[in-house]
Amino acid sequence: MFVQLESRRRARPPWATILLVAACVVMFLWIASEPAEGRGRLLTVWGTVPTTLLDTQVPWLTQLTELRFARLVTALFIHADWIHLTTNLLFLVIFGVPAERALGAGRFLLLFILGGALANFAGALTLAATNSPIIGSSGAVSSVVGAYLALYPRARLGLVLPLGFFLEFVRVPASLLIGFWALLQVLFTFVGPAFGAVAWWTHIAGFFLGIVLALLWKPGIARRARA
């Protein structure tokens, strides 16, 4: 478990992060309230199904009217279970709150949606023959983590380590923890099937997209801070 240790000036509430968390929770409760058959149908309809998204036999007009590319976005708010949901939301809150305060709510929402959608598209390309839907905000949250690293390369995180009957609180460079996490994502692309059906490439793509977007926005963030 780790917590943010960075000092901050007084700022507006991170309403974009709160909005995204609420949207994910509401969507999860709605889908969970459906019978098993209905849940499977909703995941297929609103998730990113690679074989459906990349079906070149379907005319572009049909693709547009059926909102197939919009499912790259809707899939971000759908989660398979409580563990899937809470893990993503935990990372979103830890890294999203400081990232939103630096970027502003508008850029932060764009980061989450654009980064997540493109990450899902990258995942679909790597799983082109798969009929199972790609769901969850993992790609979008990975974009937030990447943006955080680019915005706060020298930040430190508090890490709580269980040592026997005691908990030890240590400060660790965020770049070290995030780098270790990113390395795990790369390793899991090779051994991923042993750890369940996870689109690991969405994490990697989202992470690097977040870094790129944050670096592109840094001049605007600096002007915003001066203003």
Question: Directed axis angle between helix 200-226 and helix 105-126, to 10°?
Answer: 160
Asked, for residue 2, whether it belongs to a domain, the answer is no
pLDDT-above-70 percentage for the chain: 85
Asked, for residue 164, whether it belongs to a domain, the answer is yes
Asked, for residue 95, whether it belongs to a domain, the answer is yes
- Fill in the amino acid letter for 172: V
Asked, for residue 63, whether it belongs to a domain, the answer is yes
CATH number of the domain where residue 135 is located: 1.20.1540.10
pTM over 0.75: yes
The pLDDT of 176-194, averaged and rounded, is 78
Q: What is the pLDDT of residue 39?
A: 86
Rounded Cα gap, residues 113 and 213, in angstroms: 12
Residue 199 near residue 129 (C-beta atoms within 8 A): no
Is 69's pLDDT higher than 70?
Answer: yes
Q: Are strands 2-4 and 166-173 parallel, antiparallel or unpaired?
A: unpaired
Q: What is the pLDDT of residue 164?
A: 60
Q: Structural domain tally of the chain? A: 1
Which range marks the domain in which residue 219 is found?
Answer: 10-226
Asked, for residue 178, whether it belongs to a domain, the answer is yes
Rounded Cα gap, residues 150 and 209, in angstroms: 11
Helix H or strand E encompassing 10: none
Rounded Cα gap, residues 187 and 19, in angstroms: 33
Per-residue pLDDT tens over the stretch 84-97? 999 999 999 999 99
Which pLDDT band, with edges at 50, 70 and 90, does 143 fall under?
Answer: very high
- Fill in the amino acid letter for 1: M
Burial class (CB in 10 A: 0-12, 13-18, 19+), 75: buried
Kindly list the strands in the beta sheet with 2-4, ordered across the sheet, starting from the edge strand earlier in the chain.
2-4, 156-163, 166-173
Helix H or strand E encompassing 136: none
